[in-house]
Amino acid sequence: MTRTTYAKALAEAFRVALAEDERVFMAGEDIGIYGGAFGVTDGLLDEFGPKRILDTPISEEVIAGLAVGAAIVGQRPIVEMQFSDFIVNAMDPIVNQAAKLHFMYGGQVSVPMIIRGPGGGGTGAAAQHSQSLEAWFAHVPGLKVVTPATAQDVHDLLLASLLDPDPVVFLEHKLLYKVEEDVEFRSSIADTPAQLGQALVRREGGDCSIVAYSIMVPRALEAAEVLAEEGIDVEVVDLRTLRPMDTTTIRSSVKKTGRLVTAQEAPVPVSIGAEVAACVAGSDALDYLLAPIQRVGSLDVPMPYAKTLETATIPQTGDIVDAARRVMKD
């Protein structure tokens, strides 16, 4: 085990992939000489050279387009968007090309590529650099969507994404980059124990299930500790992958506890939390519910710049605690 940060655990996964597989290359704005907007790719240019670590023009559509083309001819590109908000500039190559080509060509073409970027708020970066857009991509058939919450998971799930034959949208919360924990580095891509579409129960409990992902996982775990002092035994489920979603683990947890709170940073309407609720409502797990489902998410507004307004917009640990208290009253 190595004590390291989420960002360095991710960088180590890149090193494993680049060293093992010559088809892997990385591309993005300022990822080489500058080391990336958040320093995640720092040092990789010196280690692997300019043919594997490509600084690109400021054009997200070009970055995604080159990845689609390279993937089709057998390469394994990992491309970075400086902020995941900027993916909107590359929706056509991602949504209309990468996600669909395998199906449009009768399975004769696959597009194994990773589009990654930092998302979420909390840094005072305002409305165009703080969004949580995961539901957009989870809505598109042909895309996988991964949202690692821990340093171990960001390492393992990046490697698991490289094993997948489909395009993967890999979303890292920028507030997690500096979080430290003990991580077991894998020596090869195939050593990863992670699988896309497999959730984890981070905390066992018997009274209420909190289903979360990304930065809301540590907040849900904090909420669980607060609620434990009140005698409420919370189970925390980390989705890890939003598409495919591990509905089996969600339903199993709800059958066990009888209560469900969903927690996300994205605004509540038309979101991942709604899909989690639907997977319960459309199954026999519905019969086990003892109270209406509670959904926790950001206010339905663009992210404010002012720190106090930003904090009020994004769900905090106390909001999850309050939601759990509400479901326990019924």
Q: How confident is residue 240, by pLDDT bands cut at 50, 70 and 90?
A: very high
CB burial of residue 194 (10 Å; 0-12, 13-18, 19+):
buried
Measured distance CA(199)–CA(179) in Å, rounded: 21
Q: Summarize the confidence of residues 47-62 as an average pLDDT.
A: 97
Residue 148 — pLDDT band, cuts 50, 70, 90? very high
Q: Out of 60, 134, 172, 275, which one is annotated catalytic?
A: 60
Share of the chain above pLDDT 90, in %: 99
Length of the chain: 330
Q: Would you say the C-alpha torsion 271, 274, 278, 279 has a positive or negative sign?
A: positive
* 305 has a pLDDT exceeding 90: yes
pLDDT, one tens digit per residue, over 250-269 is 999 999 999 999 999 999 99
Q: Report the mean per-residue pLDDT for the chain.
A: 97
**What number is the average pLDDT over the span 21-25?**
98
152: pLDDT strictly greater than 80: yes
Q: Which of 12, 80, 102, 129 is catalytic?
A: 129
Q: Is the pLDDT of residue 330 over 90?
A: no
Ramachandran area for residue 316 (φ above 0: left; ψ -120 to 50: alpha; else beta):
beta
Percent of the chain with pLDDT over 70: 100
E strands along 89-141, which residues? 114-119
| Chain position carrying tokens 């989870």 | 138
pLDDT the model gives residue 43: 96
**Mean pLDDT in residue range 264-291:** 97
Arithmetic mean of pLDDT, 10-18: 98
Whether the model clears a pTM of 0.85, i.e. scores above it, the answer is yes
Closest CA to 64 of 42, 81, 45, 84: 81
The Cα–Cα gap between 269 and 299 comes to 9
What pLDDT is attached to residue 251? 98
Q: What is the mean pLDDT of residues 84-113?
A: 96
Position 71 confidence tier, pLDDT thresholds 50, 70, 90? very high
Is residue 60 flagged as an active site residue? yes
- How confident is the model over 79-96, as a mean pLDDT? 96
Residue 194's pLDDT band, with cuts at 50, 70 and 90, is: very high
Q: In what order do the strands lie in the sheet with 234-238?
A: 200-203, 234-238, 208-212, 260-267, 294-298
Torsional sign, CA 159, 30, 140, 295: positive
Query: Would you state the pLDDT for residue 324?
Result: 98
In contact, 177 and 157? CB cutoff 8 Å: no
Query: By CB neighbour count within 10 A (0-12 exposed, 13-18 middle, 19+ buried), where does 174 fall?
Result: buried
Establish whether 139 is a catalytic residue: no
pLDDT at 220: 98
- For residues 25 and 51, is the Cβ–Cβ distance under 8 A? yes
